[in-house]
Amino acid sequence: MKKSSRIIAFLLLVVLLFAGMAATYKSVIKNVNLGLDLQGGFEVLYQVDPLNKGDKIDKKALQSTAQTLENRVNVLGVSEPKIQVEEPNRIRVQLAGVTDQNEARKILSSQANLTIRDAEDKVKLSGSDIKQGSAKQEFKQETNQPTVTFKVKDKNKFKKVTEEISKKRDNVMVVWLDFKKGDSYKKEAQKKNPKFISAASVDQPINSDSVEISGGFKGQEGVKKAKQIAELLNAGSLPVDLKEIYSNSVGAQFGQDALDKTVFASFIGVALIYLFMLGFYRLPGLVAIIALTTYIYLTLVAFNFISGVLTLPGLAALVLGVGMAVDANIIMYERIKDELRIGRTIKQAFSKANKSSFLTIFDSNLTTVIAAAVLFFFGESSVKGFATMLLLGILMIFVTAVFLSRFLLSLLVSSNIFKNQFWLFGVKKNKRHDINEGVDVHDLKTSFEKWNFVKLAKPLIGVSILIVVVGLVILYIFKLNLGIDFSSGTRVDFQSKQAITQQKVEQVVKDSGLKADQIQINGKDNKVATVQFKDDLTRAQDNKLSDNIKSKFGDTPQINTVSPIIGQELAKNAMLALIYASIGIIIYVSLRFEWRMGLSSVLALLHDVFIIVAISVYLELK
């Protein structure tokens, strides 16, 4: 290939890359599935318990329950819900973009067990007597009132039931949805809004397989309620009891604000990296920018391909991946600079650096793969999202930062146009040795030459021990300030267009029948508030507090509730993840190098982690 041809090939490849990305990036971004923390919605982790004593929750029961929940989600019209069975007896439901979260949670956890009873609350017909999929929302011809109709499996059984009720003094056929122990027709009949759906008088036997429920539906709300009941009946009743042990709800505006701020911060971070690479590494830095841009694009394409859901931790992993991709480039570019400084030509320096840097990049990324795999195995949903994006990012690092970057740079180097332009590689001519001097890379002086770290080993170890002791004292005095993820409880975040005061928040909490353990007002102009409760709030308490906050401050809050059992599991899994990741790294480094290196590197990492934890405790960070 001619020298000019290599430059043309470089330019053509870059133009094709950017043209392809420019033509498709909008569709790639559009197809990204945003998590509930970026577009609003909610996540619930249910513990599945048997409805009747003696029943067992096996895999079949979990799958059946998950299918029923999926049918109910279809009633809500939510696109791309995520329903996942988790061993031994849990189901996680994630609904991003749902508009009415309170209604959605009610529909999901409702038993939807329809029963027809007499005035003494004795069961005459149950959901098992209804033909599957026969329920409809219709309108009564005479009055145009909304009704729910369905068909029974046994026409004669229904006739017998209506005949029996018609002969009673109190000849009422009462239709209930999710009748609870202690419920009573006679008590509910005295109320303005009774729990039962309808109560119709039966004067004679009904010789039909069609049942009509009417009278309990009025106006547009009545139409909505009737339609919902019909759809719930068709979706099927839940054969189990669902208990919420973790929930996280995010208002649409809160999610949009989080997305805007995170994208802006990510853009600033990536832009600074680009400026650094261009200013410090010149020509290779330009190649790195091309490779990094391709890295971001391909990572999002791959993430869409596996139908990943992008969350805030996932975005953080994407930006972290950019930093790791830069690191892969820097390792090689520093090797090139070192080879140039000892007197090699640009071609020779590139060839040597290309060979010597690959294993270093491979080793550093493989240890990250070990950590990411452990996080994926032990982490909950948002941590799994972070780990997934990180693993994809590492794969794309080898595609772009290693292979693409090297190929593009090889085209420029082999063209010989930049043959003696050492400054384009960040090396000054007066800093270069003559190759005949026989100077080796290890002989090159650095700015750290004056520091003899081996000689200073004992004093530095003493300083480290002192810092650890101080850290232990800080931990003993101040204790760990655990967030609700580990300590359990409920955290409520919301914002307002007007300044929020402590008194206003306290009043809203009081009006909801609750008492907050901590209230923080922060954000620009005090327009953001955080309320914490040591106890995990019930769904009813969540709904009431959410409605009151929305009414007072005009914002749907983000509510995160963690039960004690989930808090304990998260803490346990975090410790196990740390232990297994450390062991995995030690084993790999021992195989590649020697066990002393693996052990010392992990101990150094744990030492740094401890210092960060101690500083966080001192600053009262969660």
Q: Parallel, antiparallel, or unpaired: how do β-strands 146-151 and 309-310 relate?
A: unpaired
CB 388 within 8 A of CB 299: no
Residue with tokens 């384009």: 424
Biggest distance spanned by C-alpha atoms of the chain: 116
Lowest mean pLDDT among 31-45, 56-70, 162-176, 215-229: 215-229
Amino acid at 614: A
110 pLDDT tier (thresholds 50, 70, 90): confident
Distance CA(285)–CA(281), nearest Å, equals 5
For residues 290-316, average pLDDT? 90
Amino acid at 86: E
Amino acid at 479: K
212 pLDDT tier (thresholds 50, 70, 90): confident
* 385-408 pLDDT tens trace: 889 999 999 999 989 988 999 999
Q: Spelled out in words, what is the top-level CATH class assigned to the domain 114-237?
A: alpha beta
State yes or no: pLDDT of 1 exceeds 60.
no
How many Cβ atoms are within 10 Å of 58's Cβ, its own excluded? 11
CATH number of 489-562: 3.30.70.3220
CATH 1.20.1640.10 fits 270-443, yes or no: yes
* pLDDT of 181: 81
User: What's the fold here for domain 36-109+241-250?
Assistant: Alpha-Beta Plaits (3.30.70)
* pLDDT of 278: 92
CB 104 within 8 A of CB 95: yes
Lowest mean pLDDT among 22-26, 122-126, 212-216: 212-216
* 415-428 pLDDT tens trace: 888 888 888 888 88
239 to 68, 69, 103, 196, 538: CA distances (angstroms): 9, 11, 21, 20, 22
54-58, 105-109, 263-267, range with greatest mean pLDDT: 263-267
Tokens describing residue 452: 């003899």
Q: Matching CATH topology for 36-109+241-250 and 489-562?
A: yes
* pLDDT of 163: 86
Distance CA(579)–CA(596), nearest Å, equals 17
Distance CA(253)–CA(38), nearest Å, equals 9
Q: How big is the chain, counted in residues? A: 622
CB 387 within 8 A of CB 303: no
First vs last C-alpha separation in the chain: 59
CB 237 within 8 A of CB 112: yes
Domain boundaries of the chain, sorted by first residue: 36-109+241-250, 114-237, 270-443, 457-481+566-618, 489-562
**Omega into 564 within 30° of 0, i.e. cis?**
no
Distance CA(20)–CA(220), nearest Å, equals 50
